[in-house]
Amino acid sequence: MVYDQIDIVNKLVESINISGNSVTNSRRRIIAEIVRKEGLFTSEELAKSLPNIGRATVYRTLRLLYEQGNVCRINIVDDHSYYTLSSSDHHHHTVCKKCNKIDEINLIGLEKSIKQFEKNISGEILSHNLEIYIICSDCTSSK
């Protein structure tokens, strides 16, 4: 498990280096903390878990990782943005309304439809997000 985390940290560091951004010791520690976290976290939670690193550095690093597609930002109904490591290329999420469990899903047919839809709008689609709210099978079976 630890070796997997080290590999993930190294891949994220390499991604930042390739983009032309610097990787300071603080950024490396932020990345390691993100990799250690399981499930969702807010930017505030991340900053609190790294008290010796400035909030601005934490937020800038999180934004950079998000812009690179290395973390996902999920907006749940409580008006907070939550983050999680991205484990694949472009994807969408299901969010359980009872336990907040989040799973990644790939909807290839939807992606093709969105590309077709672009022909009908006066502009270029830059990005899109989709969260599908569900009651997960764990919560359904525990009734």
Instruction: Kindly state whether residues 33 and 65 are assigned to the same domain.
Output: yes
Which of the listed residues 51, 67, 85 is the one where a domain comes to its end?
85
Task: Verify that 80 and 44 share a domain, yes or no.
Answer: yes
> What is the rounded average pLDDT of the residues 109-134?
81
pLDDT band with cut points at 50, 70 and 90 for residue 20 = very high
> Which pLDDT score, from 0 to 100, does residue 143 have?
60
Question: Strands across the sheet with 92-96, in order?
Answer: 102-105, 92-96, 131-134
CB atoms within 10 A of CB 40: 18
C-alpha distances (whole Å) from 16 to each of 9, 24, 37 are 11, 11, 20
Q: Tell me the two tokens of residue 118.
A: 């672009």
Report the domain count for the chain: 2
Same domain, 52 and 96: no
Looking at residue 48, which CATH number applies to its domain? 1.10.10.10
Query: Are 49 and 109 in a shared domain?
Result: no
Q: Which of 56, 85, 114 is the last residue of a domain?
A: 85
SS3 label, residue 135: coil
Shared domain for 131 and 100, answered yes or no, is: yes
Task: Give me the amino acid identity at 46.
Answer: L
Q: Are residues 41 and 96 in the same domain?
A: no
Q: What percent of the chain has pLDDT over 90?
A: 41
pTM of the model: 0.73
Query: Each residue of 66-76: pLDDT tens digit?
Result: 998 888 888 77
Residue 40 lies in domain: 2-85
Do 64 and 117 sit in the same domain of this protein?
no
48 and 76 both lie in a single domain: yes
- My answer on whether 11 and 52 are in the same domain is yes
